[in-house]
Structure 1
């Protein structure tokens, strides 16, 4: 049977922030699911790194696991911090730039 969640052992408890490490000057990621209707990816952004403005075909929920980032949605910026969640609406331009080292769990639903 094809696993829906991949790249981590099933039936094991994890601390999400331990699954992806910061890499200087880079955005590191670990894909946990990539199916036609859903994507789940864990990211670690080194301070100052980001994802440039783009739009996605589905709603994207970002859960901030560590640090702070500037999240821009449709030209309006806000700071998101550890423990917060923000939804990036489908087909609306958005960008993310780390203020500090920053980890997030991204779930995209189409």
Structure 2
């Protein structure tokens, strides 16, 4: 997708969902100087190990449940849940179900 794909248009995020048989699939659905929006799709059982980001971020759960580690604490998240992560916060996840979430990264 080009950087302008979602500029000034309305699109359905659910139409962008496609689950990989294994691994993680991410799609950049918007990118601009003010930030970036990505759609992540993980099959049940997939994990993302602990890591940090140099940018503040927000996560919105669209489908499935997951165990998310934020700092030293684990949280069970479900569709409709969202949370903010400050830059530098260690985070990880375990997909309990097929999982879809939207990640917004702020700044560049």
Query: After TM superposition, is the score higher than 0.5?
Result: yes
Task: Say whether the 8 Å CA contact 2:7–2:30 is kept in structure 1.
Answer: no
RMSD: 2.0
User: What's the CA shift string for 1:31-68, capped at 9, x where partnerless?
Assistant: 12344541210011100112211111111100000010
SS of equivalent residue, structure 1 residue 56: coil
Aligned length, in residue pairs:
106
Which ranges of structure 2 fall in alignment gaps of 5 or more residues?
Answer: none
1:29–1:41 CA contact under 8 A, matched in 2: yes
Which stretches of structure 1, 4 residues or more, deviate above 6 A after TM superposition? none
Please give the alpha-carbon distance, in whole angstroms, between the structure 1 residues aligned to 2:47 and 2:39.
14
| TM-score of the aligned structures, taking structure 2 as reference length | 0.85
Residue equivalent to 2:55? 58
Name structure 1 gaps, 5 residues minimum: none
Specify the SS of the correspondent of 2:14. helix
What is the match of residue 14 of structure 1? Answer: 11
Among 95, 105, 108, which residue is 1:108 paired with?
105
Cα deviation, residue 87, structure 1: 1.2
